[in-house]
Amino acid sequence: MNIKSILFSLSFCILVLVARAQSGNLLTATLLTKSPDQYLKMEWNIPVSGKFKNPYDQKEVMLDLWLTSPSGKPLQLPCYFEKKDNGTSLFKARFTPQESGKYSYYFKLITGKTSQDSKPESFTARKTQKKGFMHKNNNYTFKFDNGELFRGVGENVAWESRDFENQKFTYDYLLPTLAKNGANFFRTWMSYWNIPLEWKKVGGTKRYQNSDDYFNPGAIKRMDELVQLTDSLGLYFMLTLDWHGHLMQNFKRSNYSTAMGGPAATPTEYFTLPASMEMYKNKLRYVVGRWGYSTNIAAWEFFNEIDNAAFGAKDSVIIPLAAINHWHQEMSRYLKDLDPYQHLVTTSVSHRDIPGMNSIPYIDFNQKHIYKHTEKIPGIYPDYIQTFNKPYVVGEFGFRWEDMDPKYAKEANYDYKRGLWFGMFSETPILPMTWWWELFDDQKMTPYFNSVRKISDMMLAAGKGKFQQFKPEAGLLHAQGMQCGNSYFVYLLNETEHEVAAAVSFPVAKATGALQSFDPEGRKFAILKSKAIAGNTLTLAVADGVKLKAGESRVLIFGMK
């Protein structure tokens, strides 16, 4: 090699080193988890040298953990920026192995046009009896990685108490109360007063402080605590990443608004500007990187009631519906590509559908909210499921959508109970979720979940995921039936204002055993007399049958051993 070649090579190496020093350089990663386990979080610290204007912006710096699973499946996990540490940028990786066995991995750093890989490493995850992540199964159930079936029983806990509300209503109080009373699911929001991840300017709460940081530090800390709490309680939840009020009267305080230094001058530009969409993708990348490891996050929900932002007075369109639909298509596809665990993905409307959104392939189940018409719940599922071939969920329901005055407590309590049972005997993987959690806690309604969960568990055990609706005959009583395997369940409700005694009959086949009656109020079972007649129909005569007071309900079970 001549002197010119040597000098050229040295110059090139120097230029590469200078470019790396300016754009970032991977330092030695440290695996913090000493004994990796299947379905449990692992963690790495990954220091990166170099200065970044915005380390949360993936166009400036992007660090990923690339793995090959024991079965040979390639996985890509986004890492996230934690803090500046002694002149370096500390990134972290949180990963949950879905397989047991030996994984190989390396880190890839991309800064601008420069790419750098760490040296290959490996670890071995021990097999556990944990359930893993939740995924679609059929229209009645979700399924964990280990094959166990799940049906959601719970309510909305959309936020912790604001300044003007009873301060006891925190996650630390409400979630353990739900868990000890049989609930296994809840839904909660990110907003400017609750887990305000993207809000520099918070409001309505002293729990969080205003911050000029790209992501609100208080929100990050509280979200970490929430995930740890749900894991300890065995509760699963739907994380609503945004709500319609963000795009209405609160848009000017949004990080996306030009008033706060963001790219969008209007709510429409939130959905249409490439810069706004890139900003949202930064958020998704951070959320998946930091909290995607959690098996207790059942679903990512993009928006609460996006139709309430799209439509104005007299249902006039104020944000183009096609733009909202396109945004959901783009973001749901991006999220599915980003999330190595394939959490469930959804969004929701209040009562007006957005054309095309129910058919988006990357959204796993559709949602609607129902207020003042709980009686319509049993009828809402068939049309949507048959039309769009997806599970359907009533994410909110209630006697009223306005602020719940305690003077309506009696009517609300009745509505609360029947809504849960209407969903139990319908084609849905998550039972309708009540709103006004503070009122129902005050009314001591939470223990009622024990009754609903008891029957739900019996159905799952009897049918092993197989459900078939049937129509019982019960005179003046509201009646719904569900066959699960060789067992039959009938829900009866007296919707009249007076006591009703009714004969009950329903078709049975290949079933034997006692006919039981379950009282949801007292959580007590009783044996009833019955006889099977021609045509494989089980009949409960009036004399032996069900006598219910106004508003009272029963569940009949036949065929359980």
Quick one: three-class SS letters along 260-289?
A: HCCCECCHHHHHHCHHHHHHHHHHHHHHHH
**Which two three-digit tokens encode residue 140?**
């009645």
pLDDT of 547 > 90? The answer is yes
Buried-state track 307-326, b at ≥16 Cβ within 10 A, e below 16: bbbbbeeeeeeebebebbbb
Q: What is the DSSP letter of 39?
A: T
Looking at 462, 493, 523, which one is the last position of a domain?
462
Dihedral, 331, 346, 296, 378 alpha carbons, nearest 10: 180
Report if residue 11 sits inside a domain: no
Question: Residue 504 belongs to a domain with what CATH number?
Answer: 2.60.40.1180
pLDDT of 22 > 60? The answer is no
Report if residue 348 sits inside a domain: yes
In terms of domains, do 368 and 490 share one? no
pLDDT of 97 > 70? The answer is yes
In terms of domains, do 176 and 239 share one? yes
Looking at 442, 462, 482, which one is the last position of a domain?
462
In terms of domains, do 192 and 259 share one? yes
Mark out the alpha helices in 49-204 (DSSP H runs).
171-180
pLDDT for the residue 2: 54
Q: Show the domain range for 58.
A: 20-125
pLDDT for the residue 545: 76
- In this structure, are strands 524-528 and 515-519 parallel, antiparallel, or unpaired? antiparallel
| 321, amino acid identity | L
Report if residue 362 sits inside a domain: yes
pLDDT of 532 > 70? The answer is no
Question: Residue 371 belongs to a domain with what CATH number?
Answer: 3.20.20.80
Beta partners for residue 125, in sequence order? 101
| 16, amino acid identity | V
**Which two three-digit tokens encode residue 346?**
């959804």
Report if residue 107 sits inside a domain: yes
In terms of domains, do 382 and 426 share one? yes
| 37, amino acid identity | D
In terms of domains, do 44 and 61 share one? yes
- Strands (E) in 446-542, as ranges, are 468-470, 478-484, 487-493, 500-502, 504-507, 515-519, 524-528, 531-533, 537-540
**Secondary structure of the chain: what % helix, strand, coil (to 5)?**
30, 30, 40
Report if residue 37 sits inside a domain: yes
pLDDT for the residue 220: 98
Average pLDDT over residues 386-415: 93
Other beta carbons within 10 angstroms of residue 3's beta carbon come to 7
In terms of domains, do 365 and 235 share one? yes
pLDDT of 50 > 80? The answer is yes
Query: What is the longest distance spanned by two Cα atoms in the chain?
Result: 109
In terms of domains, do 164 and 192 share one? yes
> Three-class SS of residue 375?
helix
pLDDT-derived band at 236 (thresholds 50, 70, 90) equals: very high
CA distance 78 to 67: 11
pLDDT for the residue 113: 86
In terms of domains, do 149 and 102 share one? no
pLDDT-derived band at 258 (thresholds 50, 70, 90) equals: very high
Report if residue 130 sits inside a domain: no
**pLDDT tens digits for range 327-362:** 999 999 999 999 999 999 999 999 999 999 999 999
In terms of domains, do 106 and 143 share one? no
> Three-class SS of residue 349?
strand
Average pLDDT over residues 2-21: 43
Question: Residue 32 belongs to a domain with what CATH number?
Answer: 2.60.40.10
CA distance 449 to 3: 82
Report if residue 145 sits inside a domain: yes
pLDDT-derived band at 15 (thresholds 50, 70, 90) equals: very low
Count how many domains the chain has. Answer: 3
In terms of domains, do 245 and 105 share one? no
The dihedral through the CA atoms of 214, 216, 221, 225 has a sign that is negative
**Which two three-digit tokens encode residue 326?**
């396109």
In sequence order, what are the residues at sequence separation of 6 or more whose Cβ sits closer than 8 angstroms to the Cβ of residue 329? 356, 360, 362
The DSSP-derived string for 408-466 is: GHHHHHHHHHHHHHHHHTSS-SB---BS-HHHHHHTT-GGGHHHHHHHHHHHHHHHTT-
CA distance 72 to 505: 55
Report if residue 10 sits inside a domain: no
**pLDDT tens digits for range 193-229:** 999 999 999 999 999 999 999 999 999 999 999 999 9
Residue 324 · residue 367 · CB < 8 Å? no
In terms of domains, do 54 and 202 share one? no
**pLDDT tens digits for range 106-156:** 999 999 889 999 999 999 999 999 999 999 999 999 999 999 999 999 999
In sequence order, what are the residues at sequence separation of 6 or more whose Cβ sits closer than 8 angstroms to the Cβ of residue 176? 233
In terms of domains, do 539 and 458 share one? no
Backbone torsions φ then ψ of 410, nearest 5 degrees = -60, -50
What is the C-alpha R_g of the chain? 27
Backbone torsions φ then ψ of 300, nearest 5 degrees = -95, 125
Q: What is the DSSP letter of 380?
A: H
pLDDT of 445 > 60? The answer is yes
In sequence order, what are the residues at sequence separation of 6 or more whose Cβ sits closer than 8 angstroms to the Cβ of residue 114? 19, 20, 23, 24
pLDDT-derived band at 85 (thresholds 50, 70, 90) equals: confident
What is the chain's mean pLDDT, rounded? Answer: 93
pLDDT of 24 > 90? The answer is no
Residue 236 · residue 187 · CB < 8 Å? no
Looking at 462, 491, 519, which one is the last position of a domain?
462
Average pLDDT over residues 408-421: 96
pLDDT-derived band at 511 (thresholds 50, 70, 90) equals: low
**pLDDT tens digits for range 279-312:** 999 999 999 999 999 999 999 999 999 999 999 9
pLDDT-derived band at 8 (thresholds 50, 70, 90) equals: very low
